[in-house]
Amino acid sequence: MSWEVVAGQRLSLNAIPWEVQSDVPSVPPASEAKDAESLLREAYRLLSNGQRAEALSIAQELVLRYPNFQLGQLLFADLMNLISDQPMDVRSALHEGASDVASKLQQLNAEARLRLNRPGPAAYAGKEPAGLAYLSTKVPFVIVVDALHSRLYVMTHAASAGTQESSKGLQVVFESYMSVGQRGIGKQQKGDGKTPLGVYVIQKSYPGHVLPDLYGSGALTLNYPNDLDILDGKTGSGIWIHGSPSEQYARAPEATDGCVVLSNPDMLTLMKLHFPAGTPVFILPKVEWVEPHKNKNLRSRLWPTEKVQDEKNRREILAMLSWQGEGRNMMSILYAAETLISGQASVMVTPSYWVEQGHQWKAIPANSGERQLADRSSPVARPSGRAVVR
């Protein structure tokens, strides 16, 4: 028995041929890239070039550095089996309990495919996710989740000179493999095992040592359900971005209760960025990377003002994101709202949500159990805290 992803139609009794057709064949040398995924990709590159001994050396380094990385352990075991004087007949070894083993291999198969065929830097260099119409330089980061490719991206403003609003566009500063809900995406109700889609904001950040082991090396909490979710009758809460249990390196692509889950090393890197509260998180079925001018044109259609500001209510707009789903167009606008904390003025990021009806955008009343829409000038309230239940 061998993996579909690596064997294709050429099934082997003894080993996995590792013949994935990667869209991004160039991989940094192992000496320059020591994270688990880069080592995996380097071992695959060497193996695909027929360099078995070199691939085995990289695979050995991989399992020594990341002993709980099951995909790496399987690669190393297959290579050892391949060069053995008496290679094991894997099919004959799988008697009772084969269905459990086959299920696990299918999960690892899916993870391998996604890791090895992830969109490379060329796919997003100089581009932005479609729908990210505006991000003020006062908002340092945006997190983008691509469910189809099991990738999480962190984008920030490219280095620029001039005024605060001067920008050379956005660039990806971090990306990683991640897992979503065991029943996919499009959360509707508590306990459905799905990850919600749309725009959310980070509320709090928790280091791993204050959390149960389930959450790994840290967690970022999100404002699910937001006002749009509440209007639609969606239930549940406690949707976080967090790490993995200590015995696991990573989860299968669809294996969570609804959260977005990273490996612990990747989550630690994410936590070091120190995302401020209100950082937008854009969760999409699939990210379409577009030229920045397309998002600029989108912004002009969504909010046709020369300055990105709510002129009627005198509120500065910090971000504007638009997406489609459930047969309608939706939008989230993040505002800068001043508040007093311990007697000192502070700026908070306040999200509002909008739907398009009859070619007109209308705001969702904040914290509303009402089932009606307000006009464009409706006030926006801060999201309230909710219990952690998914």
Sorted by sequence, the CB contacts under 8 Å of residue 92 that are 6+ apart come out as none
Q: Residue 272 falls within a domain, yes or no?
A: yes
Integer CA distances (angstroms), 82 to 12, 57, 85, 347, in order: 10, 14, 9, 60
Integer CA distances (angstroms), 312 to 315, 377, 379, in order: 8, 7, 11
312 or 161, higher pLDDT:
312
Are residues 153 and 95 located together in one domain of the fold? no
Residue 205 has pLDDT above 60, yes or no: yes
Average pLDDT over residues 296-324: 81
Average pLDDT over residues 300-305: 79
* CA dihedral for 173, 177, 178, 180, sign (positive or negative): positive
Sorted by sequence, the CB contacts under 8 Å of residue 227 that are 6+ apart come out as 352, 353, 364, 365, 366, 367, 368, 383
Are residues 197 and 177 located together in one domain of the fold? yes
Are residues 237 and 338 located together in one domain of the fold? yes
Residue 180 is which amino acid?
A: V
Are residues 246 and 278 located together in one domain of the fold? yes
Residue 310 has pLDDT above 80, yes or no: no
Are residues 180 and 211 located together in one domain of the fold? yes
Are residues 329 and 250 located together in one domain of the fold? yes
Helix (H, G, I), strand (E, B) or coil at 220: strand
Query: Which domain does 169 fall in, by range?
Result: 122-363
Q: How many helices (H) and strands (E) does the chain have?
A: 10, 18
Average pLDDT over residues 222-237: 95
User: 187 and 236 in contact (C-beta within 8 Å)?
Assistant: yes
Are residues 307 and 189 located together in one domain of the fold? yes
Given pLDDT bands bounded at 50, 70 and 90, which one contains residue 315? Answer: confident
Are residues 103 and 157 located together in one domain of the fold? no
What's the pLDDT tens digit per position in 59-108?
999 999 999 999 999 999 888 887 776 666 655 555 555 667 778 888 99
Given pLDDT bands bounded at 50, 70 and 90, which one contains residue 166? Answer: low
CATH number for the domain harbouring residue 205:
2.40.440.10
When divided into structural domains, the chain yields a total of 2
Please provide the DSSP assignment of 75-116 as one string: HHHHHHHHH-SS---HHHH--TTHHHHHHHHHHHHHHHHHHH
Q: Residue 368 falls within a domain, yes or no?
A: no
Are residues 250 and 359 located together in one domain of the fold? yes
Are residues 110 and 214 located together in one domain of the fold? no
Q: Residue 385 falls within a domain, yes or no?
A: no
| Separation of alpha carbons 131 and 163, rounded Å | 25
Residue 257 has pLDDT above 90, yes or no: yes
Are residues 142 and 278 located together in one domain of the fold? yes
Q: What is the pLDDT of residue 101?
A: 77
Global pTM value: 0.84
Given pLDDT bands bounded at 50, 70 and 90, which one contains residue 281? Answer: very high
Are residues 102 and 173 located together in one domain of the fold? no
Cis bond upstream, residue 225 (ω within 30): yes
